[in-house]
Structure 1
Amino acid sequence: MSLTIAEENYLKAIYHLSDGGTKSVSTNDIAAEIKTKPASVSDMLRKLGDKAVIEYRKYYGVNITEEGKKIALGTIRKHRLWEVFLVDKLQFAWDEVHEVAEELEHIQSPLLIQRLDAYLNYPKFDPHGDPIPDEFGDVKARPRVALNEMEIGQSGQIVAVKDSSAAFLQYLDKVGAYIGARIKVMDKVEFDGSLEILVDQKKNLFMSKDVAANILIQQS
C-alpha cells in the first residue's frame, strides 16, 4: 500500500498515542501530537479510513487497524535503525539524530532496510533505549521503571529515556547520565520528589522529579 509521508507520520503518531493500538485516540490528542488544527486532522483521518489503516467514527475516536499497525511499526523500525546507524557509524550525537531519522524513515526499500539491519548486526535498541521492531513487527521490550518511582537504596541501569528532545539529551550529557550507566538512589526529598543518585559508584547527582520521570531503569 502506498502512503504519503504525512499519512505515515499520522499513523506513527496514532500508534504511539494508542499505546500500540490498545485504546482509542481523540482527534484533539492527534492534533496536539502532530501540531496542527483538529480540522486538518479530521480531513486526514477520512483519507486514512478510506485506506483501511484506521477506523474513525466522529465523536468516538480513532482506532488503528492491524494493517495500520504493520505500517506504523515498519516506519518506527526504519527510524530507529537509522538512528543507530547515525550514532554508531557516522558519530552523530544522540541528540542530533531524531530529525535526520524522521526524513530517512520514509525511504521505501525493504531490501535497503534488511541490509542496514544486517550491517548494524541486528541491534535490538536504538541510541535512546527504545526497542527496534524486527522485520515481522515484533517488539522485544524489557522490564523498566521510571527513576522517580524507585525507592532509596534501589539500584539498576539506565536503559532508555522517555524524552528524546535535544534539550533533555544535552542536559543528560552535561550531568553524565547516559544509557548503560549504573545508578543507585541515595536519597529522596519528600517536599518536591527530587532525588540524589550515585552514578557508576563514583558520582553523586541531584535530580528533579521531572527529570527522573523521563529516565527509565532496569532494576537489579
Structure 2
Amino acid sequence: MPADRPSTMVQDYLKVIWGAQEWDGGSITTSEIAEMLSVTPSSVSGNLKRLARDGLIEYEPYGAIELSAQGRAEAVRMVRRHRLLETYLVARLGYGWDEVHEEADQLEHSISDRLLARMDADLGHPRTDPHGDPIPAPDGSVARPDAGRLSDLGEGRCGHIARISDRDPGLLRYLDARGIGLGTHLHVDARSEAAGVLAVSWDVEAEHRELDLSLVAAEAMRIAPDEHARG
C-alpha cells in the first residue's frame, strides 16, 4: 500500500459508511459498524473520532456520521476496487457470486492500481458487479439503476431484478438454486404484512415458478419496476 494511502482500518470504515448511504441515503450507527466489521462499539467510537480528526468524516458522539469530500473519494476508490475484484473472480476464475465478497475484502487493500486497471480492461470495463451493484468509474462517479426494494413493490406489480445484496451468501445460494438472479422478471402475486411474506412468480425457460419469499429477503433485492402491472 502506498505510504500516502489510509490504513486498512480506515479504508474499511469509510467503505462501510459509504455503503450504508449508497442506495437510500440512510445513516449508519456505531453499533451497525461494529457488527459489520466484527469489532466492539467502544473501538468504533474511538476510530470514528480519529477519522473526524483527520478530516475524513463529520461526526459527533450519538450524532449522524457523514463522509467528507475526502472521505467519500477514498470510500468510492475502495468500492471500485472491491467490485472489480468480485467481477474478475466470477468472470475469470470461476468463483460463485456467493463466494467473492470476503475474497475481495482481503485483496482490495493490496492489489496495485496498475493490476486493477489491467483487470478492468480485460473485463471490458464492466458497469456492475455480479450482484448488480454499480462499479464506480475512475473519476468517482456512480451510475445507479432506477430500482427500489422488492419488499416495497405492490401486489400485482412486476419488474426485473437489478441488484441483490451480497451480505448474506446463504440468500444468494438460495435464490440461485431456484433460478432467481439478476435480470429475472418477477411478479408480485400477493403480500402479507402479518406473515412477513411476499408471494412472487417468474418463468425459467418456459417453466412457471412460484415462491413465498420473506420480506426480509425481499429487502435485500432491488427491482426495476415495469411501467404497468401485469394483467
Q: CA distance change for structure 1 residues 160 and 23 in 2, over 3 Å: closer, same or farther?
A: closer
Aligned-residue offset at 1:65: 0.7
Aligned match of 1:45: 48
1:65 maps to a residue whose letter is: S
**Unpaired stretches in structure 2, ≥5 consecutive residues:** 227-231
TM-score w.r.t. the length of structure 2 is: 0.84
**Unpaired stretches in structure 1, ≥5 consecutive residues:** none
Query: Does the aligned pair in 2 maintain the 1:83–1:98 contact within 8 Å?
Result: yes
Aligned residues: percent identity?
32
Please state whether the residue corresponding to 2:117 is helix, strand or coil: helix
Does residue 36 (structure 1) correspond to residue 50 (structure 2)? The answer is: no
Which is worse superposed, 118-127 or 106-115?
106-115
Query: Does the aligned pair in 2 maintain the 1:15–1:21 contact within 8 Å?
Result: no
Write the distance in 2 (CA, Å) between the matches of 1:159 and 1:21. 15
Write the distance in 2 (CA, Å) between the matches of 1:189 and 1:60. 35
Which is worse superposed, 164-173 or 128-137?
164-173
Q: CA distance change for structure 1 residues 109 and 51 in 2, over 3 Å: closer, same or farther?
A: farther
Aligned pair partner of 2:18 in 15, 20, 28? 15
Write the distance in 2 (CA, Å) between the matches of 1:24 and 1:177. 30
Write the distance in 2 (CA, Å) between the matches of 1:206 and 1:56. 43
Query: Following superposition of structure 1 onto structure 2, how do residues 91-102 of structure 1 map, counting pairs within 5 Å?
Result: 91-102=94-105
Which is worse superposed, 67-76 or 109-118?
109-118
Aligned-residue offset at 1:23: 6.4
2:157 maps to a residue whose letter is: Q
Write the distance in 2 (CA, Å) between the matches of 1:39 and 1:186. 45
Aligned pair partner of 2:186 in 173, 183, 207? 183
Does residue 199 (structure 1) correspond to residue 203 (structure 2)? The answer is: yes
Please state whether the residue corresponding to 2:187 is helix, strand or coil: strand
Aligned-residue offset at 1:219: 1.9
Which is worse superposed, 128-137 or 188-197?
188-197
Aligned pair partner of 2:112 in 88, 109, 113? 109
Once superposed, what is the RMSD of the aligned Cα atoms? 2.3
TM-score w.r.t. the length of structure 1 is: 0.88
1:87 maps to a residue whose letter is: V
